[in-house]
A = this chain, B = another copy of it.
Amino acid sequence: MSGTTSFEPRTGSVAGTIAETTNEELTRILELARSAATLLAASPPTERSAWLQAVAEALEKPVAELVEIADRETALGAQRLTGEVARAAGQLRFYADVAAEGSYLDVTIDDATVTSPRLVRVNRPLGPVAVFGASNFPFAFGLLGNDTASAIASGCPVIAKAHPAHVLLCERLAELATTALASAPAPEGTFAMVAGYEAGASLVQADVVAAVAFTGSQIGGLALWRMANDRSTVIPVYAEMATVNPVIVTRGAASDMATVAAGFVGSFTLGAGQFCTKPGLLFAPRGSRAAELVGDALVAAQPRPVMLTQGIASAFNGGLGELIDAGAEVVRSVPGVDAGWSVSATVLRVPINSLRVGSRFLEECFGPVALIAEYDDVAELRAALLELPGSLAASVIVDDDDDPDSGEIIDLVSGSVGRVIVNDWPTGVAFTWAQQHGGPWPATSNPTATSVGAAALRRFVRPIAFQSVPDNRLPAEAQASNPWRLPRRINGTLAPGT
């Protein structure tokens, strides 16, 4: 039997191995998911909400144990990982609440008129969702992260692939979730884990799988997206992929460039720069000494980053080389430690007029590196901003609310990102009703979707209209008596749920 092995990033030694899912096991998992899909689609959101609460509780009990396993496999540190367990539990509870509230079902009723029949439109779960979690957030964007929580909340069973970088953690998380769901009790097949590349690929190709959610590299996301597009029945792929996440410092904000530089270094080296929201490109006015000050702040910070995997470390070193080959000038580089998968943290300077569509400078380099570009005036800045590819987020550092440049810059960057932040850093993604964690290609494969926040549920449902269907034959969420007490739109007017 073949297995998937994880390693300890700090030393490079083996952390552990788990068995890969066999074809027979996968067949059974898919069958269970198929059966569960029918039961989940008929379950009231309040029930699913209780299941997710049970998973959240199960996560919070063995925190020390989970953090120990995760730290061994990721080297992200106990403090950060402890916070991340709490975050993952909080997310599960948040999506539970969003499900129970029921707005995501978009219940819409048009009574019959002289010219049109009675129509009731509700969102129904798509069916089993294949989840491919991220390496860099083993709890919050991992096996039981945003994708899994929002998919189950919306009534879809989840089959999640164990991340090869933290297989021991995945195995333990799957065990916790399966036990918690069984005792909730959620139907068998509500959640399952698979392991191994083959099982992951089979999942995306399986008839019973109705959607794919992915968080990770552009190479990985594109591979799954292409695989799903090659199916005879194409299914939606929600891939969160590559993103540059620009930061723009206005002329007014450049007077305190040293403070900005320190904050920027903190953000782009956080978690060894392995954040999908890492700010990768900073624009500052020429004369602000931005590059030098960021370089100084990097030296002062001495981050000593250790990457999650050998593959990520080597991709980072390769990417850094490509950036330098493409003409980026090294401002400062702080060497890593001489063990495991440590790398140098680096600040590069690039000429602003080299930032054009197709430039290597406008592709993500995942890890602790950032590019600095200086602009002469707003016209030069504007030209560069219009060249930027889609990103998850952009930060605009302004002087005050009346900074004369901020309006145009916010408007410009909002054209290519999912979130615009003023006077703060893009790392840190609150899970609330108004959050948007997405963006135009190549940041994600679907600019209308979000993988964090209440709207994350909407990725996994599709609307069905019931025309002249007798009330007793409608699904519960569509019935006139509103047994689930959902917010509804009736004849064009919104009505609250209770």
A422 to chain B, nearest CB (A): 5
Given A418-B465, A465-B420, CB of A433 within 8 Å of CB of B126 = no
Q: Give the residue of B433, B462, B470 whose beta carbon is less than 8 angstroms from that of A447.
A: B462
Given A414-B124, A469-B422, A472-B401, CB of A464 within 8 Å of CB of B445 = no
Given A418-B463, A450-B463, A473-B407, CB of A121 within 8 Å of CB of B434 = yes
Q: Which residues of chain B are near A436, meaning CB under 8 Å?
A: 121, 463-465
Contact between chains at A406 and B463 (CB < 8 Å): no
Binds B, one of A18-26, A164-172, A229-237, A369-377: A229-237
* Residue A367, interface by CB 8 Å: no
In the bound complex, what is the Cα–Cα distance between A410 and B466 (angstroms)? 9
Q: Which residues of chain B are near A121, meaning CB under 8 Å?
A: 433-436, 453, 455
In the bound complex, what is the Cα–Cα distance between A496 and B493 (angstroms)? 9
Q: Which residues of chain B are near A454, meaning CB under 8 Å?
A: 108
Look across to chain B and name the residue whose beta carbon is closest to the beta carbon of A400. Answer: B470
Q: Which residues of chain B are near A232, meaning CB under 8 Å?
A: 357-358
* Residue A390, interface by CB 8 Å: yes
Number of A positions contacting B (CB below 8 A):
78
A151 to chain B, nearest CB (A): 14
Look across to chain B and name the residue whose beta carbon is closest to the beta carbon of A112. Answer: B430
Look across to chain B and name the residue whose beta carbon is closest to the beta carbon of A496. Answer: B494
Q: Which residues of chain B are near A424, meaning CB under 8 Å?
A: 117, 467-468
Within 8 A of B (CB), among A95-122: 101, 103, 106, 108-110, 115-117, 119-121
* Residue A361, interface by CB 8 Å: no
* Residue A448, interface by CB 8 Å: yes
Look across to chain B and name the residue whose beta carbon is closest to the beta carbon of A450. Answer: B463
Q: Which residues of chain B are near A418, meaning CB under 8 Å?
A: 462-465
* Residue A483, interface by CB 8 Å: no
Interface string of A432-467 (1 = CB under 8 A from B): 111110101110011110100111001101111111
* Residue A423, interface by CB 8 Å: yes
Given A235-B441, A470-B401, CB of A465 within 8 Å of CB of B419 = yes
* Residue A389, interface by CB 8 Å: yes
Look across to chain B and name the residue whose beta carbon is closest to the beta carbon of A466. Answer: B420
Given A236-B448, A470-B406, CB of A116 within 8 Å of CB of B430 = yes
Q: Give the residue of B119, B233, B423 whose beta carbon is less than 8 angstroms from that of A440.
A: B233
* Residue A305, interface by CB 8 Å: no
A45 to chain B, nearest CB (A): 15
A496 to chain B, nearest CB (A): 7
In the bound complex, what is the Cα–Cα distance between A422 and B450 (angstroms)? 35
Contact between chains at A433 and B492 (CB < 8 Å): yes
* Residue A200, interface by CB 8 Å: no
Given A417-B464, A436-B121, CB of A233 within 8 Å of CB of B422 = no
Q: Give the residue of B108, B440, B494 whose beta carbon is less than 8 angstroms from that of A434.
A: B108
In the bound complex, what is the Cα–Cα distance between A466 and B454 (angstroms)? 15
Q: Which residues of chain B are near A300, meaning CB under 8 Å?
A: none
Contact between chains at A448 and B463 (CB < 8 Å): yes
Contact between chains at A462 and B433 (CB < 8 Å): no
Contact between chains at B119 and A435 (CB < 8 Å): yes
Q: Give the residue of B110, B124, B235, B463 whose beta carbon is less than 8 angstroms from that of A438.
A: B463
* Residue A157, interface by CB 8 Å: no
Sorted nearest first, the 6 A-B pairs with minimum C-beta distance are A436-B465, A116-B430, A119-B434, A401-B470, A121-B434, A108-B434
Would you list 20 pairs from A and B whose C-beta atoms are within 8 A, ordered by A residue?
A: A101-B492, A108-B434, A115-B430, A116-B430, A119-B435, A121-B436, A121-B453, A121-B455, A124-B414, A233-B441, A236-B446, A401-B470, A407-B472, A410-B469, A414-B464, A424-B468, A434-B465, A436-B463, A438-B463, A450-B463
